[in-house]
Amino acid sequence: MGEALQYASRRLRKDREIVLEAVKDCGGTFGGALRYASAELRNNSEVVLEAVKQDVTALEFASDSLKSDREFFLKAVKLDVWAIEYASDDLKNDGIFFLKVVELDARALAYASGLLKDDRNFLLDAMKLDVLVLAYASSKLKSDRNFFLEAAKCNRGALEYSSAALKRDLGVLFGTRG
């Protein structure tokens, strides 16, 4: 039924129950049936989250409003961490939002904005949740001695994510290999 939605009338594409069944039935294909749903239903969080359960790429067809909605995207990331790829640029720049995302899965930081990846305070806060976030730090920060000295105070494992030159330098200081 899922792909059949593309041949359905406008009236049927607006019918919440029909579209919900279609998105449930259409797993594994790019965007599934959501791409054929009415604009109103592509703005319905329940319908879109059901589509995400089947195929995260359905978010491509979600409304811009949902792509900017913090609560909606936290739910989507709980279903699939890679949902974050489809978040709005505003959310990808939002440090408070990304701290909540990092609590769920630090790998999502791969899709944060360059500004967040270069924000010392944000990364130090995020590192307290999961040191893996430092893998996504900007190259500028990965070479910043003071940044990694501060990070290492909280977690010596932070040094693993510094630049090679900094690993050698700080490794001597901390008695680790560089």
The tens digit of pLDDT for each residue in 100-134 reads 999 999 999 999 999 999 999 999 999 999 999 99
Per-residue pLDDT tens over the stretch 22-53: 998 875 566 789 999 999 999 999 999 999 99
DSSP 162: S
For the residues 70-74, what does the mean pLDDT come to?
97
pTM, 2 dp: 0.86
Burial class (CB in 10 A: 0-12, 13-18, 19+), 171: middle
